[in-house]
Amino acid sequence: QLQLVESGGGLVQPGGSLRLSCTASGFTLNTYTIAWFRQAPGKEREGVSIIRGSSTNYPDSLKGRFTISRDDAKNTVYLQMNSLKPEDTAVYYCAAARWATILVPNDYTYWGQGTQVSVSS
């Protein structure tokens, strides 16, 4: 059974950092496109980052603050988030797709349960 499990969320002050983890079971992450999405209350789910092979991409609004990476030995993808802002508060999800290349939620087949990130003083 293919499964994704996120961890690492929590409460952080503005300007702080968090690293989210997404660990897969039942499949090998480096053979899939892996993406991070987030959803704030009352808002649509939005793409945060994507990694496929050695290629990564981010929305322009997040470049320089968020970094996606993958540890193949641990079958885990990470999202390093720096200089966090209150508007980064959301539930963060990782998702996997066999052939996706962009951050469109409907293109992704497998989803984790989400992890809450709250940025507040």
Instruction: Please report the pLDDT score of residue 14 as a whole number.
Output: 98
Instruction: Please report the pLDDT score of residue 44 as a whole number.
Output: 96
Average pLDDT, the chain: 96
Instruction: Please report the pLDDT score of residue 107 as a whole number.
Output: 94
* Contact present, 68 and 76 (Cβ < 8 Å): no
Q: Which residues contact 8 (CB under 8 A, 6 or more apart)?
A: 18, 19, 20, 21, 115
pLDDT over 90 (residue 11) = yes
Q: Which residues contact 120 (CB under 8 A, 6 or more apart)?
A: 11, 13, 14, 86, 89
Instruction: Please report the pLDDT score of residue 1 as a whole number.
Output: 84
Q: How confident is the model at residue 56 (pLDDT cuts 50, 70, 90)?
A: very high
The pLDDT tens digits of the residues spanning 66-112 come to 999 999 999 999 999 999 999 999 999 999 999 988 999 999 999 99
Mean local confidence (pLDDT), 1-30: 96
Instruction: Please report the pLDDT score of residue 95 as a whole number.
Output: 98
pLDDT over 90 (residue 59) = yes
